[in-house]
Structure formats: C-alpha cells, structure tokens
Structure 1
C-alpha cells in the first residue's frame, strides 16, 4: 500500500469513482459512486454496516480507519480485482470539535497508471534507440562490439534473452554471432551451450528468415511454430530453459538478407505484443543498416589492405605489373616498369603496343583477350636504347559481386637474361650432345662417380672394355667394383688422396675384367668436377686408356732386348774368342817369324859390313821394314787382346788412353760416375762394346785431332751408359761428320753402337774440337713397368 502525505495534490490528480463516510464507531454513513459496480456493490448498499466487522480480515483497511479516526489525513493505494485504486481519507469533526467520523474518496487509477507505464516504456525505448544509434555509429569499425550492443539493446526490457544470427559467406546458413540475456550476469541458464553442441547445431537455415516480411511471432508450445523457428536442438534447448514464445526479425539492408534478430520470453513473462514487435523491428532496421555499413567498411578496409599489400608486393617484385581500365588505358604501373624505361600511365595499351611491340604480336594479344579473356606469352619491349624480353600474362578482372568488367591486369617477368641463358643452354646442350657422342664413341674407359663412390656413368666403350652389359644400371655399383685388388689398394693409397689434395692425378693401374679375364692395364687421368659457381667439388671423373697393346709391345720389346743382349753377348764373346785366336796365331807365328827374319838380317848386315860395306844401304831399309812390321803386329796384338773390365770401364779406358797417348804430349782425362762402374750394373758385353768404340775415338783423336787435351766422361743415363769423348783439336772435317761410306772408322763405331741397341754421333764442337757421343742400353727389366 502506498501513502501520499500531500492530500490536496493527490485529490486533484483523479476524478473520484467512490465516495463513502463512516462515523467514529466505524458505521458506514454514505456509499456512492460509479466505482461500486466494479467492486460488485450497489450505491448505498454499505450504509449502516460496521466497517470494522466487514473488513475484519483486511488488516490494511483496518489500519487506515484507525489512522483517519485518530485525526490523520492521508492517501493510500491498493490493487483490488486487477484495478489500481487510490483512497483519500480525511477525518470529520463534530460541531463541538470532536471526532465525528471520516470521509473517504476512492479514485480508479488503473488506466492512468497504464498510460504512465507505457509512456515511460516508450521513452525508455526511444532513449535506447538513440543510444543504439550512437553506439552503432561508434562501433561500426568493430563488428563484434556492434553486434553485442545491438542484441543487448533489443533484449533489455523486451525479452528474456536475444541473439543475432549472421549469414555465412556461402549464403546458405546463419550462424550465432551475438547473445545477451536480460537477467543477471551470473545467471547462465539462457546462454547457449557451445561445449555441448557442434557448430552445425548453432546454425539455422537462411530460409527460416528469408520468408519473413517484417517479423514473425512464434508460440513455441505449438509444434508447427517450433518447426518454423529452427533446428530441433535449439528448440529443445529453449524449451528446457522455459522459453514459451519467440520473436524473429530479419536483418535486411539494400534488399539483401544479412541475418536475423531473435528474442525469446520465458515462463512467467507475458507474450510479445505489437509494441514489442515494433521496437524489435526498429532495432533490427538500425542494426541491419549499421551491419551493412560495417560490412561495407570491413570490405573496404580489406580491399584497401589488399590494395596496399598488392601495391607493396607489386613495388617489391622484380616483375613488371600494370593495370588498365575497360578502355585499355593504363591506370597503374609498378616501379619496375619505369626501371626499364617505360612510361605507360595514361597511355592506351594500343599505343604502347604500337611503339614497343611487334604488330603481329600485339594483334595476337588483343585477339586472345577478346576471345578468352587471357593471354600468355613472350613480349619484346623495345625502346631507343634497348629491348626487354618479358614473359607476360594478361587477364581481365571483374567485380567480385556484380561481375562487371574492371579492366585488365598485365604481369610480366623480365626474362631477357633467362632467354639468353636458355639460348646459351640450348647451345650448351648441343655441345653436350656432341660431347656425349664423342664420349660414347671414345675407345677409352670414361666414368663419373659421386664423391661417396657411387658410380653415376660409364660410357659404352668403357662398359665393353670391362665386360659390363649395357643393361646394367651403373648407379647400383661403386668404384671398387671396377678395380682389381691391386688397383683398389692403389686407388685408396695414392689416387684418391692425390685427387683430394691437388684436384687431379695421372698414373697407371689395373681394371677388373668382369668376364673373368686377366686384369686390364690402364693409363689413368682422374680429376674432380666442380660447381662452376661455387667451385665446390661434386663428382669425380676418370678417363682410362687400355694399355694391353702397349704392355704386350713392351713385353715384346723386352723379349727382343733380351734376345739382342744374348746375341750381343755371344757376338762379343765370339769376337773376343776370334781375336784371342788371331792374337795367338800372330804371336806364335807371324811375330816369331819376323823376329827370326830380323835376327838373320842383323847377322847378314854384320857380314856385309865386314865383306861388302857398300851393300849395307840395301840391307838397312829392309831391316827397318821388318822392324816396323813387327811393331805393327805387336800393336795388333794389343788391339786383339780382350780388355780387362774387372775394375770397371773407367779404369780400362784410363789404361787404354795411357797406352794410346804414351809417347804424346796430349793430356788425357777420364771421369765417370761411381755407380756406373759397380760390377753388374751394366752388362759386360755392353761395357766391351763401349770400350771398343771409345778406344776407336781415342785412336782417331791421337791420329787426326792434334789436340792438347782429350776428355773422356762416363755416366749412366736413361737406364744405360753414356760415353762422351771430347778434344780441343782441329775438329773433324765437315765431310766426315757422318759415318758415310768410305770412312771405315766412323762407320765401324756407328755399326757397333747400333748392334748393341744404342746410338752414336760425332761432330764439331762450337768452341773447337770434336765430340763423339755414345749411348748403350743397360740390363733390360724382365718385369712390366710399375704403375705410376
């Protein structure tokens, strides 16, 4: 019960509907007014009744009677049968100033209170809409905040809870975007349970909002209405939380559906009425407009961001990028276009084509764009200074929603260097093909292996050399598979370390014959293959020549040399034997006979001197001739006697020189390398031949050179022995510098050298005198030459 102390003001606020009075004892003395009928009473029906008894159960009425009879004037309100009644009570005084009773005036304020409430609600909603407009304008750049403000405004004072559904980008379903409840923040009864639902269960079909003209009021107690609301999961959840009615308002802007606003009321609250619907529609219209603006702004921001990204990307890329409008006029070019000397902005692409591109190519581009909306190919952009080859792609662009043509995008990559490189690559491929043909035809073993030892390539002749089938995949093999045990050991110990250290290696080794044949001797040239840019090695290449024929030839040569050595030995031995025999015959026969003749001539000379002195002039020359003949025979004996080489060739030559130049003033010097005189280092037959040729050269020097000094040098060279005889005499005549026919001594020396497998030469020295040079081979090596 409400009381108002200001009685006169309260009296004037409404027209009385009941007037009653009662005396000091509570007996009703008057009961009149049209309001009695609404209480089920007639005019005057209460007169004479004791009101204390009538309202004995109405404690509030009894209290008010006591107050007014106590002299208090006041107003109180109460609700009876759905009507709001306001009662004004004033005490009545008797003529003597005592309490005579009280007067009561009852006014029905039901309609007035309703109008006041409606006015307040209307004012609140207008204020909410104004605040919503401000909030929507403020939150237009923040879509989640905008939706949150909208659903809270629509829910406050209108519904138990509210939600906003937004259309998916694909346009088929609407998803929950915002939710609000009119109850306290701690009350979670009306919040949707996303943890218990899949995303599909928090979405509704767009058709449930698309067919609504203005708003749709649904009684969720009705089965048909529940089907119109949405997914059974949502309806079931709403019913479980006590929701009995729902109001759905579509969100539309510019004729397009954006989503829906849903408001629901729970048990204990009345259903929605028309003013609720009007308010929800007002909110939805404002939200839809703000949402459309927000989406447009978001789209514009995204487009601006994409434009900024595109420009940043276009300016940063090395490609040439241009955009033209629907009239083919360039509206944008990136910085790279200007870098190549092109000024396109504001110019028609037709003009650009005419000045920079071959006419036939320009026609092809325009034809392809017109027919298919796209063209791709190479364009050569020419100006006065240079030309640029650009790999170009041109395509029409359209508005994503209206599909209206916007123009053409041109993206070109400068491939000038690439095309040059491709041309060089094609030329290199031709060279590579030629090289491959050469390698495939080369009889040598040519292979390439990775640094880990995996074989990558073996040319066909190489396969044939080692007996590998052409069908074998060499990448399943390793370097060791191609080598003999000796070859592998040599590769690991010598070849590979040398290649790693120096980048290449040359030598000899052996390959394995995969057919089971003997090892294949090869001459090897191995080297690293390096990256042309980084210089880092990435493979190992080897070229190996089959030395089987050479080895066989060397073996044959060694056999021939051995045969020659044996023949030379036999020849020298035979010559020595024959010389010894001749020397013995000369010594025992001719020399002795001449000695006897000389003795008898001496006796004859003495007798003639005694008996016929005038005949001595005939005997003395004869005796001198015999003596000279004897000396020559003794010299011949010296020549025929085999030389003693037990102490070396140098010692023998010193002895020979001493005998030849015994009575001469010529100075003779014999020098040698100690190793040459080591017994067995040079075969004895070879030393004998060397001695005889050197002796012949010394004799020639004695007879013809007229030299002051003769020098003999002996040294080892190229596996053999070299003897050089030098003098400072008059020099050999030019016509005798070669061992021509008729010069028996020179020819003999040359013949002896050739028979022994050596070389001989004689000639004049630049500083004067003669040089005789002899070289004879040493002991032949019975084993194959070692791999290097």
Structure 2
C-alpha cells in the first residue's frame, strides 16, 4: 500500500467522515453568539440537522438548556474548559475553547460535544451493582474477608466477621493475622493463604480453630478463593468462614444420646431377663398346685380352672418377652427336627376348632397328604398358633378362616387367610413391628402387639419370610415361606412326630388356654332392691365375677363389648352402667359419648373400670359423662360401695324430680339447673383432685405399651387374687375331713398359691410404680402425721417375717415425731427399706431409729447383714442393678426396690444415703425436711397440703 500523505484536502475529507459517523457535534460561534459552524451526527440526538442553526443565536437555539448559554459566555470570557451538560434527554461532554485574533482578542468560541449517555448509564448500573454486592456481603451470616496478595493485609471485612472476631473493622483493615492471633495460629493461616495464591485453586478447610476476642475459641469451616488479574497474577484472597461451633457441640450431644440409648437397650434386655426369672417361679408353683387340686372332685373345679387359665395367659406373655430378649441378644437358635408339617398343622387347627365354634367361625384346612420338612416344630407351632389367634380376633361372627399348606420347590408355603376387614397395603409392613397394633390402644381385641412380631422373627430365624397379601375371602392372607431343609451342618432330630404332639399339647394350652368359660347369664335376679345394673366387660371371667359380686343386691344384665352395651342400655334403661374402658368394636369412652347423646340415659350413672395409669384418659372420661372410675386391680368391696353410693344419689334425685313435677316450667328448669350443676360440681371436684397429680405423658409408643401391659397383666392378676381369696374363705369355712374332698392340705396349698400370686402382684406393682416415677405421674399430698405411727405399722406387718428368720425387729427414738409430708409415700419407702433389710439379714437384728435434728427428720434402718462393698454402693440405687448375677440369685427381686425408694424420697423433697461395712451390716438413712422447703428445694406438687 502506498504511504498516506496528509494534505488539506485529505484532512478535510477525514474530518467530514468523523463528523458523519461519530456521536459528536462540532460547533463555532462569533463573539456575538451567532452560530457559524454546526455539524456532526450528534445533532440528531438534539432534534437538529447539520447547518440548520447557522446564522442563529446560540442563546435562542438552546434556550431550553441554560447551561449551554452559561458555558458560551464563560468561553467568550477567554477560558478554555470541559463541562458536563444534560440536554434534551442525553448526556454530553463538551470542550469549549475561545478563538482569538492577531492581537489576542477573543473573536468567538469553537467547541466539540460528545454524546456520553451510554457511558453514564453503564457507570450508574455499575454503581448499583456494586451497592447490591456490598449489601449482600455485609448482611451474609458468614464471615467474609479480603486480603491483598502482596502482604496478606486485610482490605475488606463484613459485619459478621467483625462480630465473630470481636474487633472493629477500623482496627482490622490494613493489618495481618499476626496483629490479632497467636503466632502459631497466624502461621497456619498464612501458610494456607500462600498455598491458595500459589496454586490459583480454591481451598476448603472443613474445620479450623480460631481464638476470638470476646467468644473464646471457635470452630470455623473456611473456604479460601484466589482473585486474579487478567494476566493470571494474584491480586486478592477472598475468605468465607462459617461458625460451626454449635453444630459440633450438637453432634457431640447427639453422640452422648446415642451412647445413652445403647445403655438403655442393655438395661432393657437385663430387665426382661430379670422379670422372666421372677415371674416363672410363682407361675410354676401356681400351675403345679392347681393341677394337683384339679385331680380331685367337687365344686372347686370351675374356680381352679379359671385360676389355671389366668396363669397360662401370664406364662404366654412371659414367654413372648423372653423370646424377644433372646432374639435381641442373638441367643435364640432353631432346634431342628424332621416333622410332618401336614400332621403338625392339622393338630394345631383342630385345637382351635372349639374356640372357632364358640365365635361361630368356620376353619377350613387345605393340606397335602404329607409334607416332610426339617424345621423347629416348637417355633412353627407358635407361628401358626399366633396367626390363627390373630385371625379369630378380627373375623366377624359367621366368618371364615382358611389354613393352606403346600410344597413350593424346596420350600414350604403356609397361608392363613380370613374374611375380616383386611389390611391396607401401606400399613402391611407395620403389623410385624413389635408392640404395633393398627387400632388405637383403647379399641382392642386383646394382646400386646407381640404375636405377629414373633411370627416374622421366627420365620426369618428359619431362613424364611413372612408377608401379607389380599385374601380371596376378602380379608388378609398371611404367607409364611420356610425352607424344607435345615442349613448344612445343622443338627436335626429324628423324633419329629412325637415332638410335634408334645409341642401342640403345650403350646396351644399355654398360648390360648382351654375353651372360654361360659358367659354369665344375660340376667341375674337380685335378692335385695330392684335396681338394674348393666355390666359391660369383654373379659368373660371378669364379667362373670362382676355380675356375681353385684347380684346379691341388684338385678344384673351383662354385655361383652361397647356396641352390645350401648344396644342393651337403650333397650333396658338401667339404673347404673359399670363398663370396662378397653374393649373391641366400641371402647368404653366411645360408648359413654354415645349414651350421653340419648336423653333417656343422660342422667344414668356410669362407672368406668380401667387398667390405664395415665390421668389424661381418666380426666377425659369424667368430662365426657362418666360419674366415677375404678382402677384395676380393685377391691370387690370398693366396687360395691361405689355402685351403691351412685344408685342412692340417683334415687334421691329421682325422688326430688317426682316431688317437684307439678311445679311450673321455671321451677323445673331451676331444679334441672341445680342437678346439672351438682353433676358438674362432682365432676369438677373429681377433676380437680386428679389434676393435682403430676401428669407428664411419655412418648406415644411407650404410653400405649404401658397401657396394654397394665391391662394384660392387671386383669388376670386381679381375677386370680379375688378367686383365690374366695377359694380360701370357702375352704376355711368347711370342716376338714380325713380322706374327703376337702382337707387341711388343700387349704395350705391354696394359701401357698395365694402367697405366690401375692409375689407376682408385688412384682407387677413395682414395675408400674417405676413407670409412674419415670413419667412423672406420682402424686404427692402432704399433711401433718406422726412418723413413729407409720414406722410402727410397717414393723408390725414385717414382724412375722422377722420371727421366721429368728431376727429382732424394733424401733428407737422419740415418743412422738410430727412430720409434714405424705404418709402414704413414706410408708412405701419404709416398707421397701425394712423388707430389703430382712431379706439380706440371716442373723442378728434390724433396728429403725427416728430422731429430729435442726429441722430435719432422720429415719435410719440398720441391719446386721453381709454389708455392701464400697465400690458397689452407687450401683444399688440404679434401676435393674443387682450385686449377684441371676444364675447365683437366692433372693427374689429384679433390682427396682432401692431405685424406686430413692426416687420416692426425692419426690418428698429429701435424700437417701447408705453407710455400710462388709461383714457388719448396712444403715440406710432417710432425711426429710420437717416443714415444706423453699420453692427451689421442693417441687410444687410436694408442697401441697401443709
């Protein structure tokens, strides 16, 4: 290309091109302000064309832009300058320069205006973006800091960093880590910073310790990021730090909770083992003695059969708990035997046919001629027995249960199907969970929720599986899939047939008992007044016992579930209803609500029997219309008294209503109001009394389980003790005969059974006391009383036991010692301490000393027993702890007595301590404040009454 040569013509051409295309305006005015030059493409933004304004006054053309006129005058004054001008919606950068003649006089102004609108808008947007980023960084909860790459000095900090480190930003900016942190820590930070800048890569530091000014040592999760120039040179280091101190502490707390849960699991397994040990001994004694008595003849056979059935129900519960404990510990193994599954299934289904006939249910078996398999016959029997029992609970009268067995390759498939309501697909996995029942805890068909869990566990123990399908009959079909052969190397017995028969005989008897006793007659006539009492109770034995208890004084009708109870109440119009709380089809509280909807029954007194320990349920029953409740186990005389009192009150109200029937409507309305208020007052008073108890509910599953176990254990124990008491009194009234049906040996054996049942009741009561303490349901009511009187009563009760062991049992101390506390709770404390001392003392004495010193009652129980090693003294107050292993136990107990005693003393606002010397005995000391303490010493529940 030829070299470019600038000439006047080429310069003019270039200028013309620039003016045509660049967003500028070239202008000139003379000294009078007349425009002499006006050209350039920028004129279009002002609504003008090139040359359009030549010859016109600049002051007129831009009259709407005063800054233009001001700047022209300034330039005519001889000053050259640059100014920013806003004209007609655009921004302009204008350069003004005066023109002069040969003498230097100003002859005009020449200038160039550039349209900078786009640049100004970009600058404004950039400022807005920077402001937004600053606001975000300033308000982030994490610490944000920036260091320069050269000297690693802080150039930026946000508010979170200022608050975390405890230094004002003014002190931080321009300084480095060595100005604020220990050298070792500053070296660590600096090394990490240099590594990030040298590598040019982000560095993630999950955990680093930092010492702050005001918050001590904190733990941070930090990310460090290099900020580089376009050529790759590091300019800055950006740091983002999150304070994770509280998260670390929460994780540590979570780990502690997990460790505690593992410890609780260990204690639970130990509890199950201890309970099983203690329950099996009295149960074995009961069953052995009863079987001996059953061998005789006479009218006692019915009562003894009932006792035997209750004992078997308890034994089934114990076996279930023991099996679960062994499964948890991995100690349960199949005892394989070669059996004919067809024969085994047939024997078990035949055993259930009597029970099915009573419920008007048909059992159908579809079995092959023979099916040989290597299984544990005891566990397969338990599987089938639990499935059949479950099916009969949920099939309505007139329903059908099908049991099918068939070979499926090298496996056996067992099906138990029913025509009940079925199980939704989304709930089928839950039915195999322990203690799980798909109905509410009150709407029940019996059981603790262990049966189907054991089915699944036993099936899997064989290497099989348990599942649920929809049955062609319309209900649920439980499918058990089992291998036909034992695992390689397993020992297999070959006496399978005999084993099967023994299993059936024991399993069916223990798990489900003999056929249910006959229901009491629908009506029992009274020998006394004509009041009609309706008894609603699903347990046939308890229903019969209640009817027989009330029959001497009242007419009695019986119903066996809530729905039948409602129907009979509407048809009979009873004077009083006595109902259980937990029943199938319709629960007791549901029946109460339905009854209160009918005007004819809205004044009928209702008494609720309940084995539930929670106060919320009892309060709800009272609010919904029940007049009273009775807790299981109960006294027969208590039931009679409560029924009689409520019937007397109803009779008085009925008489009052009859006498006032002739009065006008206003008087009748007033009387109804008085009676209703009376009822409300009774309910409110009862509710107020119950609300004084501490009521802190545990978790839903624990609460439901306690309610279920309380019902399952208390109901048979109550019936067992009442029947034994009746039996003992009946035997005592008859003269002994030699060789006859009734002998003194019979009486002594019945008393032994009663003693064993008492031990069983004490154990269950101890477990429930422990549950009440753990859930905060223990009620403490304080009043003044004589401590020596309570202690003396306890010693009198234990004198026979002391004499049998040849021990002295006596009390020392002041003649009268008044204490403001709860005598009932203190009596439990002294009973536990004195019985514990007598249990472990074989010779010598047990001495109780009562004295008062500095406003504190001090009660000491001293014995001459073996003493307690120093290293074991803290353990004895832990629940389920015993100094001797189970296999070496000589004394009964599960390790709850001293734990409960300590918690009871604490509930009274006191403390329990022990002083002991091995070989010389122990002294347990109870210290209680003589008067209620200050609010920070004694809980509010413990200060009531004094």
TM-score relative to the length of structure 2: 0.33
Larger radius of gyration: 1
Higher strand fraction: Structure 1 or Structure 2? Answer: 1
Which structure carries more relative contact order (alpha carbon 8 Å, separation 6+)?
2
TM-score by length of 1: 0.38
